[in-house]
Structures are given as C-alpha cells and as structure tokens.
Amino acid sequence: MARIILLRHAHSVANEKGILSGQLPGVNLSPKGREQSVNLVSRIGNSGFDSIRVSPMQRCHETIQPWLESSHSSQLKRLTIDDGLIEMNYGSWSGRALKALSKEKLWKLIQTTPSKVTFPDGERFTAMQKRAVNSIHEAIDEKKNGVHLFVSHGDVIKAIIAHLLTIKLDNFQSLVIDPASITVLEYDGEKSQLLVFNDTASSVERYANQSKKKRLLLGGGSGAPTVKRR
C-alpha cells in the first residue's frame, strides 16, 4: 500500500479577501498562511517521503518552501512540480468575490451536481478530477509502496479524496479541506483506507513514517501502534 498525504496550501491572500483566485498568478500567502508554513517545518519534521508533488501555483510553493529549506528535507528522494495538481481553472469566475458568485445561477449546480459543471471559459470538474487522480497514479507507478506528499488546493484535494474513497463527485462538496490541513490515505491503486482527514495540528511525521502493514479492519481496527520512547 502506498501512503498518500494530501496537504492543502496555507492560508492565502485570496482566502483572506474571500476571492476565488483559481489559476490567477501572484496569489501569495497571507500573514496567517506564512505562520502556518513555518509551523509546517516542525509538523512535517523528518518525514521520509519518496516523492513530493507540488502544484505550480505560488501559494503552494510558499507553503512547502520553509520545510524544503530546512534540514528535515535531506531524506527527500524526488520533488516534482506537477501541473496535474494545479488549482481548478474557474475561467471568467477567477478573481471574483465568492459572495457575489454565490448569487449566480450556476452556483446551485456547483453545490448539487458539480459533475455537470464547466466554468465559463474554464474547466470542467470531471476533467480536473481526472488530471489530479492521474498525478496520484503516476506517483504510485514510481514507487508502489512509497510515501508520497501532494501539495495542492481545496477543490482538487476534495476531488482526489472523493475518487479514492469511491464517493460520487456530486457529493464531494460534503468534504471540507482547510488551509494547511493534511489528509492521509493508504492506496494500492484500487482500494483506499482513510487514516486522517482535514487535520491542521497533528505531526505529519507520525503518518509518513508509520508502518504500512496490512490492516485488519473487522471490528474497527486496532489503531496506530504506540511509539515506545527510551
């Protein structure tokens, strides 16, 4: 089983202003987001990643850069800037306030049946999900039983989780992914197990370095092994 760790970028200036930024350039982290990115250095710690894939958007780079510049990253085996993880192309909706967009007729369809939505001059939800999931499979093809970190965006991560857990895309709006949160799954290319969801406080290292032995889930499973300290 591969360990899939999904990290949403830290709080951005667009989040701060309530703007749907999409693929617009120059959207950096807010002061809150910069603090979160610094905290991620210790949260990620000495995680032994076989690969890290990062969306090309500035806010994703700024989120992971403090850790990459730290001594903790010395074990990293592969870093890829991955277009498959880029934010949804919201087309002509990009740069507009979410409050105003919520009054558009298309908004209701986005909330109820996103699988039918293509943004004006933009991307279709199903196309975004397909390219993002392809990035997951590419990482697994590189190392089937590896530990892979993906730094991406809220809707993209929600679409990945929905696919891996066989949740219909039309129900993916029931998922909430906060800035600087991690979600961890085990995935063998066909079936997935959700270990952590939308966690903004726990140590990533705990899940990156945890044994990936087969889990016997009848009865609910026995929980993560206790780490003995000497």
Query: 55 in a domain, yes or no?
Result: yes
- For 172, the domain range is 2-208
d(CA 162, CA 70): 33
Quote the number of domains for the chain: 1
**Alpha-carbon 39 to chain mean position:** 17
Q: What's the confidence (pLDDT) of residue 75?
A: 84
**Alpha-carbon 124 to chain mean position:** 19
pTM above threshold 0.85: yes
Q: What's the confidence (pLDDT) of residue 211?
A: 66
- 58, 87 Cβ separation under 8 angstroms: no
Q: For 63-77, give the secondary structure using H, E and C.
A: HHHHHHCCHHHHHCC
CATH code at 128? 3.40.50.1240
Rounded to whole angstroms, what are the CA distances from 133 to 57, 76, 100, 107, 124?
18, 22, 31, 25, 15
Query: 101 in a domain, yes or no?
Result: yes
pLDDT digits (tens, 9 = 90+) for 175-189: 999 999 999 999 998
Q: How confident is the model at residue 227 (pLDDT cuts 50, 70, 90)?
A: very low
